[in-house]
A and B are shown apart, each in its own frame.
Chain A
Amino acid sequence: MKTTDFKYFVIVMNLALATACTKVVDLKLGNDTGKLVIEGNVTNKRGAQFIKLSRNVAFTATNTYPTVTGATVSVSDTTGKIFPFVEGPAGIYSINSMAGTAGRTYKMNIATNGSVYTASSQMPRAVKLDSITEKVDAFDKKNNRRQITVHFQDPAGTPNQYRFILTVNGVEVKRIFAFNDDFSDGRYVNLDLFQNDIDIIPGNTVTVEMQCVDKTIYTYWFTLMREGNGFGGGVAPSNPPTNIKPAALGYFSAHTTQSLILKVN
């Protein structure tokens, strides 16, 4: 219900703001930049795994981020095995062939500029993404806009957390979709991926990636999802809680992944 509930408020706020209008404004914003950003992912899909290091920039700068090079990056698992990551393109550290195993805890270890950053994440059991479907958007029937729904059976008796990535014709929708089974444990779940970033219309090809993530990572995405919706639920925005120690921007996630493709008619 979290997402659903939240979706309604966004809709309702949009209704309430129907008379509203917007304009782009210039603001004097502070600069707290040059901070380390870590984005680490290990999946259950055999192949290259990536850990990216960069730094944040000022709001007024372009969206290009300085990379952090020359770091020592590795991941270890509960069996004691160490997977070294090597730097390819600047700031992108990878290992060629690795697959995580559900149930195992992975620990990331990064040494850069004299500091050591660590984070652990437990890869959850994979839940099968059953299907994805589309339907006419109830709020935009006129333009024949479509809404994507994902369907899966949530396993009963265990807490499960999900993150979805929606791509339309190869372009990632700039919305975060995080969902957990607090209200849906053991149910067959039909979840609408509500968004207004890209209009999905007949002829589009839609890809949905489903990730099963651990609790900490869910909270990370859920916080970003709430803030990313503009209204932010009214909460003062903050950096989402991270599993990286000492605290840095970003996260380290060991998750399962699977994707389905749908051609919209």
Chain B
Amino acid sequence: MPRTLLLIFLFFAVFSAFGQKKYTISGIIKDKATGEQMIGATVRIKELPQNGTATNSYGFYSLSAPKGEYTLLFMYIGYETISQQVSLTKNQEINISLTSKAELSEVVINGNRPNNDNIVSPQMGVEKLNMAQINQVPVVFGEKDILKTLSLLPGVKSAGEANTGFYVRGGASDQNLILLDEATVYNASHFFGFFSTFNSDAIKDVSLYKGGMPAEYGGRLSSVLDIKMNEGNNKNYTAEGGIGLISSRIKVEGPIVQDKGSFMVSARRTYIDFFLKASSDSTIKGSSIYFYDINAKANYHFDNKNAIYLSGYFGKDVLALKNTFGTDWGNSTGTVRFNHIFNNRLFSNTSLVFSNYNYAVQSFQTDNIFKATSQITDFNLKEDLQYSAGSNHTLKFGLNVLHHTIAPGDITTSSTSSFNNKSIEKRYGFENAVYVSDEWKAGNKLTFLYGLRLSGLFLLGPGTFKTYDAAGNTITSTTYASGASVKNYLNLEPRFSAGYQLNDETSIKASYNRNTQNIHLLNNSTSATPTDLYVMSSNNIKPEIADQVSAGWFKNFKDNTYEFSAEIYYKWLQNQIDYKDGAQLIGNADVESLLTYGTGRAYGVELFLKKKYGHFNGWIGYTLSRTELKFPAINNGNYYPARQDRTHDLSVVGIYQLNKRWSFSSVFVYGTGNAVTYPTGKYNIGGLTTFSYSQRNGYRLPSSNRLDLGATLEGKQHKKYHSSWTFGIYNVYAYRDPYIITFRDSKTVPNTTEAVETSIFATRIPSVTWNFKF
């Protein structure tokens, strides 16, 4: 089948070259005020409605049309549409700067016909978040948060209150690929998941692919969250920031060379620990509890054809109790990218990416001194090319060479410690891929986006690799030399989406995609503990595979002011991983002996209604879904609901702009409780009440619901500076959202047992943040 696909592919690519003589218009679209390149801005030819395109991650677009007189439209949500007349007699370069409507201080957002990209594009299962909206959605402690806002979209479920983990279409939280300027972010949470690692000040664009995955992405089963940082203003120097209850943040940006290069540095830090210093208790006083993160980016455009981008992220969490123990963890990423425009049809980007996640757990007690560390380090070379082949085809192709080094655990101790020094062998491997895809406009109404990704995992020595029997005993043990091949897996991942436009405001779409995953998170804790352990596919662990089919109906109405979509999906999962009873994962050289493998299935319906413009905007998202797993060793080999199975999930988000200064927002969420395992009996062992279980995840936590409110007060206009206040109330009606239910001997009635429900925020939590910009 892959060969056939490739042939079809080549056929169309070649075929398109023989059409009518066509000319190409290409260029870069930027924000007029900041010079930021705009991602996903639309370029349309008024006279040829099907001839549209969108800018790529670097603001580049290219489109072709036969000789003629045309009106070009350049559009982006929240920006003034520019229309420009061209007489197309030769290839042309048109660079455009769009003006934000906010800059025009217009309160009423209307006028131009909003675009219908969601109808025209064959891409489905994608969610794009507007940073302006993220900034208005109320969140706990007033810390605006990309991941928490994402979980308000259909098909995306929060892993729980105070948890930035998320589940996409039934996938586990490690089945999401989180990219920050192309670098993998392994642990996207601060402070055990209360906050995400993404400081929204530094973020320009957020896209989440939950189905119909484009071929340029791969490596995880469920989703790709592609986050792009701001480039920095290349016109003026600006500084902005905020002071909140939990943290403060600051961002500075400006030109390096006017219109040619810019930089952006954004940082934030929490200050709970400053309050600890005030404590009279010496232990608390000497304790640390904080996190910080820094985003930095710089770019330089040598000319219209060549540009270089540098970006980096560094974040760290520290939690320590004086003279007792401490733990710290953090991600760091770095990306160097080089853009080259070969000609008005061929765009190239080369990236060198570094990514690291590490953690340390330490004990400072004199007789128990130890320090345990673990880390994963990636180096990634990516080459991505985009070729506009005539007016009907846009090809993307590229390759990816990703080297992993995993240090599962190093323990260092003192001579008087209770613990030994221990070092678990590092693991090395390459995760490589080549891909090709084509967006083919097969007529006025029909568009295909199809492609193929070949991904491979190459596990390399040095090291000793074992195989295990079902009971976890070692069967064979083989030692490999440095660089020797231990195990290879190759997987072909077909990707296919089709969109058929019924009219200007209605389309239907369908997609199929296969995704594979070769890096697996082992962490048998549901809270975001820092002790994430990653393993590659190996002689014991096979690549995880997911096949997804989905179909959807997309309808815009009231002149594209409202967007409605209904999508259904079904997913088959293979080679899923769970743990045997009593599995101790940390610091275990034989961790692969503790794993057990199974399959899964996930299916559901997602309904989404969004009002994009106007004084009042927002959305309603509803998901009806099921996710089930099947492991021979669990639940007598029968299907059981995965922890992330959530039958109903509803989010309502409303934002209302009252006047120039006041805006209000509210969020309501409702969700079926997580699938959990409750006892079905009790007995006595060693004098202790012990519970017996007969079914995995056979019960549900009570459903959860919550209402949050927010308000923003913009300061009066000043020439030199601008300030605003953000107010929020989290959990307005102080609902006790159940977090966990535990079972114990009753504290009030002797000789009986009781179930105890714990809620994290059983109270309303107000917040206030002061924001400034100058």
Q: Is the CB of A20 within 8 A of B586?
A: no
Docked complex: B514-553 residues within 8 A CB-CB of A: 524-527, 529, 531
Task: Identify the closest chain B residue to A236 (Cβ).
Answer: B677
A31 at the interface (CB under 8 A from B): yes
Q: Is the CB of B319 within 8 A of A184?
A: no
Q: Is the CB of A63 within 8 A of B684?
A: yes
What is the bound-complex CA distance between A141 and B323, given in angstroms? 14
A8-16, A81-89, A115-123, A200-208 - the one binding chain B: A8-16
Q: Is the CB of B525 within 8 A of A236?
A: no
Q: Is the CB of A237 within 8 A of B691?
A: yes
Q: A57-96 interface mask toward B, CB cutoff 8 Å, 1 = contact, 0 = none?
A: 1110111110000000000000000000000000000000
B478 at the interface (CB under 8 A from A): no
Q: Is the CB of B759 within 8 A of A234?
A: no
Picked from B370, B581, B677, B694, the residue with its CB within 8 Å of the CB of A1 is: B370
- Residues of A with C-beta under 8 A to B761: 19-20
A20-B739 CB under 8 A given contacts A8-B361, A25-B755, A37-B683: yes
B101-109, B385-393, B418-426, B613-621 - the one binding chain A: B418-426
A263 at the interface (CB under 8 A from B): no
What is the bound-complex CA distance between A183 and B417, given in angstroms? 11
Chain B interfacial residues counted at CB < 8 A: 88
Q: Is the CB of B742 within 8 A of A241?
A: no
- Residues of B with C-beta under 8 A to A189: 418
Q: What's the least CB distance linking A22 to chain B, in Å?
A: 5
A105-113, A124-132, A222-230 - the one binding chain B: A222-230
- Residues of B with C-beta under 8 A to A199: none
What is the bound-complex CA distance between A176 and B759, given in angstroms? 26
Q: What's the least CB distance linking A29 to chain B, in Å?
A: 6
Docked complex: B743-759 residues within 8 A CB-CB of A: 743-746, 751-759
A241-B582 CB under 8 A given contacts A54-B683, A56-B681, A65-B684: yes
Q: Is the CB of B325 within 8 A of A8?
A: yes
Chain A interfacial residues counted at CB < 8 A: 81
Q: Is the CB of B319 within 8 A of A12?
A: yes
Picked from A16, A19, A63, the residue with its CB within 8 Å of the CB of B682 is: A63
A183-B587 CB under 8 A given contacts A21-B762, A25-B756, A236-B677: yes
Q: What's the least CB distance linking B693 to chain A, in Å?
A: 5
Q: What's the least CB distance linking A40 to chain B, in Å?
A: 11
Picked from B283, B323, B588, the residue with its CB within 8 Å of the CB of A182 is: B588
A27-B192 CB under 8 A given contacts A237-B691, A238-B693: no
Picked from B327, B418, B762, the residue with its CB within 8 Å of the CB of A190 is: B418
- Residues of A with C-beta under 8 A to B683: 35, 37, 54-57, 65, 249-250
Q: What's the least CB distance linking B79 to chain A, in Å?
A: 42
Q: Is the CB of B756 within 8 A of A190?
A: no
Q: A161-190 interface mask toward B, CB cutoff 8 Å, 1 = contact, 0 = none?
A: 000010000001010100000111111111
Q: Is the CB of A2 within 8 A of B581?
A: no
A184-B418 CB under 8 A given contacts A1-B587, A16-B162, A237-B677: yes
Q: Which of A8, A15, A65, A192 has the most C-beta atoms of chain B within 10 angstroms of its own C-beta?
A: A8
Q: A1-45 interface mask toward B, CB cutoff 8 Å, 1 = contact, 0 = none?
A: 110110011011101110111111111011111010101000000
- Residues of B with C-beta under 8 A to A26: 755
Picked from B418, B681, B755, the residue with its CB within 8 Å of the CB of A31 is: B681
B116-124, B254-262, B695-703 - the one binding chain A: B695-703
- Residues of B with C-beta under 8 A to A220: 582
What is the bound-complex CA distance between A255 and B41, given in angstroms? 72
What is the bound-complex CA distance between A54 and B685, given in angstroms? 10
A222-B693 CB under 8 A given contacts A12-B327, A188-B418, A249-B683: no
Docked complex: B456-476 residues within 8 A CB-CB of A: none
Picked from B583, B677, B688, B763, the residue with its CB within 8 Å of the CB of A174 is: B688
- Residues of A with C-beta under 8 A to B579: 235
A240-B743 CB under 8 A given contacts A16-B527, A22-B756, A233-B524: no
Picked from B162, B419, B680, B763, the residue with its CB within 8 Å of the CB of A183 is: B419
A239 at the interface (CB under 8 A from B): yes
Task: Identify the closest chain B residue to A251 (Cβ).
Answer: B685
Task: Identify the closest chain B residue to A62 (Cβ).
Answer: B751
Q: What's the least CB distance linking B673 to chain A, in Å?
A: 12
Q: Is the CB of B411 within 8 A of A249?
A: no
What is the bound-complex CA distance between A237 and B682, given in angstroms? 13
Q: Is the CB of A223 within 8 A of B681?
A: no
Q: What's the least CB distance linking A57 to chain B, in Å?
A: 6
- Residues of A with C-beta under 8 A to B676: 236
Q: B180-192 interface mask toward A, CB cutoff 8 Å, 1 = contact, 0 = none?
A: 0000000000011
Q: Is the CB of B420 within 8 A of A21?
A: no
Q: Is the CB of A219 within 8 A of B581?
A: yes
A39-B696 CB under 8 A given contacts A1-B587, A8-B327, A187-B417: no
Q: What's the least CB distance linking A140 to chain B, in Å?
A: 10
Q: Is the CB of B743 within 8 A of A59?
A: yes
Task: Identify the closest chain A residue to B162 (Cβ).
Answer: A16
What is the bound-complex CA distance between A233 and B684, given in angstroms? 22
Q: Is the CB of B321 within 8 A of A138?
A: yes
A102 at the interface (CB under 8 A from B): no
What is the bound-complex CA distance between A37 and B691, given in angstroms? 11
B638 at the interface (CB under 8 A from A): no
Task: Identify the closest chain B residue to A241 (Cβ).
Answer: B581
Q: Is the CB of A231 within 8 A of B418?
A: no
Q: Which of B526, B587, B682, B695 has the most C-beta atoms of chain A within 10 angstroms of its own C-beta?
A: B682
Q: Is the CB of B524 within 8 A of A234?
A: yes
Q: Is the CB of B759 within 8 A of A20?
A: yes
Q: Is the CB of B762 within 8 A of A4?
A: no
What is the bound-complex CA distance between A12 and B528, given in angstroms? 11
What is the bound-complex CA distance between A15 and B582, given in angstroms? 25
Q: Is the CB of A223 within 8 A of B581?
A: yes
Q: Is the CB of A31 within 8 A of B527?
A: no
A186-B420 CB under 8 A given contacts A25-B741, A32-B694, A249-B692: yes
- Residues of B with C-beta under 8 A to A29: 678-680, 699, 755
A262 at the interface (CB under 8 A from B): no
What is the bound-complex CA distance between A61 and B697, given in angstroms? 22
- Residues of A with C-beta under 8 A to B324: 138
Q: Which of B323, B686, B760, B763 has the most C-beta atoms of chain A within 10 angstroms of its own C-beta?
A: B686
B612 at the interface (CB under 8 A from A): no
Among all A-B residue pairs, the 10 with the closest Cβ atoms: A234-B526, A234-B525, A32-B680, A190-B367, A56-B683, A56-B681, A32-B694, A223-B582, A230-B742, A219-B582
Q: List 28 A-B contacts (CB under 8 A).
A: A9-B529, A11-B321, A12-B319, A16-B162, A21-B763, A22-B758, A24-B746, A24-B756, A24-B757, A27-B699, A30-B695, A31-B680, A32-B692, A58-B681, A59-B753, A62-B751, A138-B283, A138-B323, A142-B281, A183-B420, A183-B587, A188-B416, A219-B582, A222-B584, A234-B525, A235-B583, A239-B693, A240-B581
Q: A27-B755, A236-B697, A238-B696 are in contact. List 7 more A-B contacts (CB 8 A).
A: A8-B361, A17-B739, A19-B760, A24-B754, A39-B684, A182-B587, A236-B696
Binding site for B on A (CB under 8 A): 1-2, 4-5, 8-9, 11-13, 15-17, 19-27, 29-33, 35, 37, 39, 54-59, 61-65, 138-139, 141-142, 165, 172, 174, 176, 182-192, 219-220, 222-224, 226-228, 230-231, 233-241, 249-251
Binding site for A on B (CB under 8 A): 162, 191-192, 194, 281-283, 289, 319, 321, 323-325, 327, 361, 363, 367-368, 370, 372, 411, 416-420, 422, 524-527, 529, 531, 579, 581-584, 586-588, 643, 676-699, 736, 739-746, 751-763
